[in-house]
Amino acid sequence: MEKNENSELKRLVAEGDQYQSLVEDCRAIITQRVKNSRFEVIAGHTEVGERIINDPLYQKSGKGNRAFLKRLFSDAGLGERTGYYCLEFYEKYIKPTGLDVCNALQTVLPQLGDDISWSAIVKVLNGNPDPLEVTPAVTDLTARIVKNAEFLAKNAKYVDGGISLFLPDEVN
């Protein structure tokens, strides 16, 4: 069995450019889908804020009525804090522009770029002057995670229905 694994590894190395292209395409697909999912979360929260703010019941009874909003958020499956963030984000950043969510985000929060996420928006709402600012400990952890992921991407191979790790000689 080890001989088959080695011959498979040699074949993959020989087809390096084709294999590398496959790896890059897979990474690009995942990266784009993750970005899309983050945007969908933001759009969902924004739509919730828009729906509540534009509702006549909210205009009549809910605006400034914590008990009403607390119950609404709970019944809708939102945490109270998240519900308030939905309202604040829509009212402060989206509604004034008159733009759809996508264009409004690019206009009012361009500094977030591809790293946009609901948590980055919450940081902006909480007054964090730089939502992309991270602590050195987080940066170090992220660097280690990326290094480990790159190592696994380079050395782990799908063989016989499972993943095998081929360690370079310097690691053994």
Q: What are phi and psi of 139, to 5 degrees?
A: -60, -45
Nearest by Cα to 43 from 136, 113, 126, 117: 117
Distance CA 162, CA 23 (A): 17
Q: What is the largest CA-CA distance in the chain?
A: 75
The mean of the pLDDT values for the chain is: 77
pLDDT in tens, 129-167: 443 444 444 445 555 555 655 665 666 655 555 555 555
Residue 124 clears pLDDT 90, i.e. is over it:
no
Who wins on pLDDT, 62 or 94?
94
Give me 125's structure tokens: 């709402």
Q: Give percent above pLDDT 70 in the chain.
A: 66
Give me 4's structure tokens: 């088959």
pLDDT in tens, 4-60: 667 776 666 666 788 888 899 999 999 999 988 988 999 999 999 999 999 999 988
Helices (H), 117-171: 118-125, 136-155
